[in-house]
Structure 1
Amino acid sequence: MSYVDSHHHFWDLEKFQYDGFPPKDTVLRQTYLFPDLKAAIADTPVKHTVFVQVFHGYEENAWILKLVEDVPTVAGVVAWVDLTDPKVGDLIDNLKTHSKFCGIRHIIHDEADHNWILREDVRRGLGVLEEKGVTFDLLLRPPNLPAIPAIAKEFPKLKFVIDHIAKPLIKDGVVQPWKDDITKCAVFPNVYVKLSGFVTEANHASWTMSDLQDYATYIIGLFGAERTMYGSDWPVCLLAADSYAKVYQAYHDLAVAAGCSDADLRRIFRDTAVDFYGLKLPS
């Protein structure tokens, strides 16, 4: 069975400036492109992937859609648009001319306003996504979660996915109010979650599976395999692990320990992402 990684990135330090990277970090401050990903996934069952935007800029959209056009492994591209732009519909229509475009993301947790998504101009843009059948990735931290139920209710036909289980404070051992707030989000059938990213919310140097298990078990039980999808968050995950394979194996083992059946694993590691994003995998 070939698996799908629903969340990874590429970046090119010679082409773009990435302001969010730590200035002295040596793991992230290097270029990562498809040959690096190909080598990283070689010893895993992952055969197809979804690229997710790195920064807010239309130049990245154009670059990545051209870069992966003839790369069968990368089955989808989650891009970015300014949801507050009155012409957001035209921008989406242009993106939809690319066969690998599969969704939009905004880095919500970098907005000063924790309730940014509730703004009228943002909600108008979300309405356009709903109308055009485009998915929306939610990059959140715990303070952003309380706004999500109202949005999920207002746009019931818009499919949302919470990236990285909303980055709970695993390193600090803080569970609340994250647990209560994400539970309220899961009530809505149009809200999905990515089993991704939370290795980097633990202690990078010393995390263990026991540090992560309760989070994974809770999330899978909450959303079910039908609304949970695996994502590596490569290469960001390399901050907390020395290889892609270690991260993949960690999430796989966490799912097994959570009681997932073979059918559940197929959903989490393949079918949920395929259905959510409408991926067309090569036969």
Structure 2
Amino acid sequence: MTLVQLEYIIALDNHRHFAIAAEKCFVTQPTLSMQIQKLEDTLGVILFDRSKHPIEPTEIGIQILEQARIIIAESKKVSEIIDNEKHEIKGNVKIGVIPTLAPYLVPLFISSFVEKYPLINLQVSEHMTSDMLDLLKKDQIDIGLMVTPLNEESMKESPLFYEEFFAYVSHRHPLFDQNLVVSSELNNEGLWILDEGHCYRSQMLNICNAKKADRFNNRVLYESGSLEALKKLVDRRGGYTLLPELFTLDLSKDEQTKLRKFSDPVPTREVGLVVKKSYAKKKLLEAMHKEILENLPPIMVSRKNTNVIKI
């Protein structure tokens, strides 16, 4: 049994297709198939049910794969420990970011980060919170940039900043005439929300004292996957939605007239970096933490944990 063989079965489990797994491992499909078959012969068990499409691990295969991921992760720690000791920040890093954060936060720090650390190769992708946790556990991404706290036993969280929520209100909605919005007085009348799967959705419903989305004017139920779409719905159809602070920085002057702050205690969300507890690139994590904070508006960096809305 070799580390390479373990990497091959992990790749096959991740992609559930021999050709794609071989491509990701930079080998030919026959080579990957032969090595996996050789590992199965060595162990005396069948790891994958090849009759299924897409291919699936067998019951014993699931257990072996879990251990294989631990072994590969631990084997990588040796070079990571050495890099930390040498204070070197280098290598390939896969970062996952939730969709309600990625377009507004990543552009603020990504350019300066890669300029400061030229030996780092970054791969950034967007994922829902539940999917990102699964990818972190399977070592398919290294760092999650997401809303915390998550209270996941196997994860380590490093809070970054606290972001306020704003109401974005149509001039035809009663909230437009208020200088401040009181969260306890909100309901889902005219509320546009994100669709299922977004942690931001549950935060919106919690702030607005709503357990579910109602139809707008009893005719339209529209649950969007994008904050930009929610904003445009308010502009064109009326009602209101909630926007995170970073999103509001790029609003036009006309759009800013539709923003309403919340009265105290202002609802906020905690944003943090999340890694597996076994993650060894501590210097890299510290560097990213520092770079993000240096590129945020100062008021967000100085803000303390006050009224964090549960996910």
Give the structure-1-normalised TM-score: 0.27
Structure whose CA Rg is larger: 2
> Normalized per residue, which structure has more strand?
2
